[in-house]
């Protein structure tokens, strides 16, 4: 599997955020997208997820499922958690597993992120850190090959960051791809860096 981009242009609010951006990522590889705030890290991830229109350039995926578009093979972990407070933890996770597709039962993913036993509680009772863990559980339960992570370690305590690092390593070993927008290290050694805001 190979994700390639060339000449990407991003325009937000009438202002050109970046242009001429390109990268290539193969299965088992991770790319850290760095840069100061406003340099377009989130926009790049959302572009690949299909949530923001490409103002220019090309994005192509080879070796993946030819029947599906790129957004359908991508899992996006943004700043928000996509949680409904009145549904229970299991109902929240179970819904996304059924809607986005995934074979792992919710209990297994919950156990991995340390939320086992909280399945029956309304999601409103979780703390901010626990909600991020639930988003991580969603990432694990919905098994898609490309992970787009937008500042994944924010609001995570050190235990949770270790769980995330372990999950990411396992995903890469399985041939998955990871693009992560981040300000600092997130526990992936040997990942390449794409610095936005610098001359391309």
Partner 1 sequence: MNALSALFIRDLRLAVRVGGGGGIGVLFFLIVVVLMPFAIGPDLALLARIGPALLWLGALLATLLTLERLFSIDQEDGSLDLLLMADTPLELAVAAKAAAHWLTTGLPLVIATPLFGLFMNLNGHASAAVALTLLAGTPALTFIGVIGAALSVALRRGGLLLAVLVLPLTVPVLIFGVSASNAAIVGPLPFGTPFTILCALSLFSLVIGTFAAAAALRHGLE
Partner 2 sequence: MPLIDLANPTRFLALAERALPWLIGATAIAFAVGLQQTHGAPDDYQQGATVKIMFIHVPSAWLGMFGWGLMSVAALGTLVWRHPLADVAAKAAAPIGAAFTFLCLVTGSLWGRPMWGTYWVWDARLTSELVLLLIYLGVIALWRTVEDPSRASRAVAVLTLVGAINLPIIKFSVDWWNTLHQPASVFRVGGSTIDRSILIPLFAMAIAFTLLFVTLHIAAMRNEILRRRIRTLMLMQAQAAPGSAS
Residues of the shown chain interacting with partner 1 in the complex, contacts defined by CB under 8 A: 12, 46, 49-53, 68, 71-72, 74-76, 78-84, 86-87, 91, 94-96, 98-101
Residue 88 to residue 81: CA distance in whole angstroms = 14
- Least Cβ distance, residue 65 to partner 1 (angstroms): 10
Nearest by Cα to 137 from 158, 155, 125, 119: 119
* Short-list 195, 188, 75, CA closest to 141: 75
User: How many CB atoms neighbour CB 21 within 10 A?
Assistant: 21
Q: How far is the CB of 134 from partner 2 (least distance, A)?
A: 9
Shortest spacing between CB 115 and partner 2, in angstroms? 6
- Smallest gap from Cβ 6 to partner 1, in A, equals 23
Note the residues at the interface with partner 2 (CB under 8 A).
85-86, 114-115, 117-118, 121-122, 124-130, 132-133, 155-157, 159-160
155 binds, among partner 1, partner 2, none (CB under 5 to 8 A by kind): partner 2
CA angle, 131 as apex, 91 and 191 as ends, to 5°?
A: 115
Q: Which of partner 2, partner 1, none is residue 128 near (CB under 5 to 8 Å by kind)?
A: partner 2
Residue pair 23/181 in contact (Cβ under 8 Å)? The answer is: no
């Amino acid at each position: 599997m190979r994700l390639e981009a060339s000449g990407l242009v991003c325009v937000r609010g009438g202002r050109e955020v970046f242009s001429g951006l390109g990268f290539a990522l193969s299965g088992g590889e991770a790319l850290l997208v760095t840069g100061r705030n406003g340099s377009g890290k989130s926009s790049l991830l959302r572009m690949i997820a299909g949530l923001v229109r490409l103002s220019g350039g090309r994005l192509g995926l080879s070796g993946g499922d030819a029947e599906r578009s790129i957004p359908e093979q991508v899992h996006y972990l943004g700043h928000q958690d996509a949680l409904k407070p009145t549904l229970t933890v299991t109902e929240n996770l179970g819904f996304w597993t059924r809607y986005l597709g995934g074979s792992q039962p919710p209990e297994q993913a919950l156990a991995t992120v340390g939320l086992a036993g909280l399945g029956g509680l309304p999601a409103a009772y979780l703390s901010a850190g626990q909600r991020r863990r639930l988003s991580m559980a969603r990432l694990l339960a919905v098994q898609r090959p490309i992970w787009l992570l937008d500042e994944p370690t924010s609001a995570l305590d050190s235990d949770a960051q270790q769980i995330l690092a372990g999950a990411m390593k396992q995903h890469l070993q399985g041939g998955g791809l990871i693009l992560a927008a981040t300000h600092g290290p997130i526990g992936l050694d040997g990942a390449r860096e794409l610095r936005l805001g610098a001359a391309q």
